Structures are given as C-alpha cells and as structure tokens.
Amino acid sequence: MAEGDENNGIELKFRIFDGTDIGHRKYASSTTVASLKQRLVAEWPADKTVSPKSQNDLKLIHAGKILENGKTLADSRITFGELPSGVITMHVVVQPLAPKKKTASKKNKGEMQKLNSCSCSIL
C-alpha cells in the first residue's frame, strides 16, 4: 500500500483480556488512538464481567508500547506489511482510573507528620 493511500486503510482487530477479538475492520492511518478507544467502548461486548466506562479506562498496546490518545495510527508507527494476513492485533487492557483520595485537612496533615516523625538522635 502506498503511503497516504487511505482507501485500503490498516486492518486492525483488538484482543481483550479473555482472548475475544473485537473491532475488526480497516481504519485510516489518520485515525487517532482516542477515536479507536471511543469505538471500542461503544462496541464492548455486554456479556463481559469487566467493561470500560469511558475511553480513559482503556489502554491500547501495540508491539509492546502503550499508544497515546493524541497520536494517529501513522504517528504510532503501526506497521502492516510484515504479516501475511495483513491484520494487526492490538491488545486492550481495561484499567479504570483509581478514585481520588480525599485530601487531609491542614490540621490532619500536621497530626500525621507528628505521628510519622522520628525522635531519634544521631550522635
């Protein structure tokens, strides 16, 4: 495929945690990683015990690298000429964002520092 030939696109499929493949189709090399994630959230199988709530819960992995949301497939250097079938499998990891911890008040921080401080003397 010639560089810039968007008609053929890059054929991708996405493998989730249990080995199921989803989202198998051709994508333009100008497709962003964020838009891929949005599509995967929309197409996520309903019968799975683990499912993403938003695109931020997903990580796409290709060739051992986590793809960045703002980059396109071309920017991410997705190669497609090396495989006989021409289909690239990316791995999808569902990792919900950790809930934000409540920040302690200034008074509680001072008390915590007193509790965590050491009164040892080094001679």
Please indicate, yes or no, if residue 90 is contained in any of the structural domains.
Answer: yes
Q: 76 near 33, Cβ under 8 Å?
A: yes
Please indicate, yes or no, if residue 113 is contained in any of the structural domains.
Answer: no
Please indicate, yes or no, if residue 110 is contained in any of the structural domains.
Answer: no
* pLDDT tens-digit map of 55-87: 999 999 998 899 999 999 888 887 655 555 678
Please indicate, yes or no, if residue 46 is contained in any of the structural domains.
Answer: yes
Please indicate, yes or no, if residue 106 is contained in any of the structural domains.
Answer: no
Structural domain range at position 24: 10-94
CATH of the domain at 78: 3.10.20.90
Please indicate, yes or no, if residue 114 is contained in any of the structural domains.
Answer: no
Nearest to 26 by CA among 87, 90, 91, 92: 87
Using 50, 70 and 90 to split pLDDT, how confident is the model at 10?
confident
Cα(41)–Cα(47) distance, integer angstroms: 13
Give the chain's mean pLDDT. Answer: 79
Taking the model in full, what pTM does it have? 0.68
Domains of the chain: total: 1
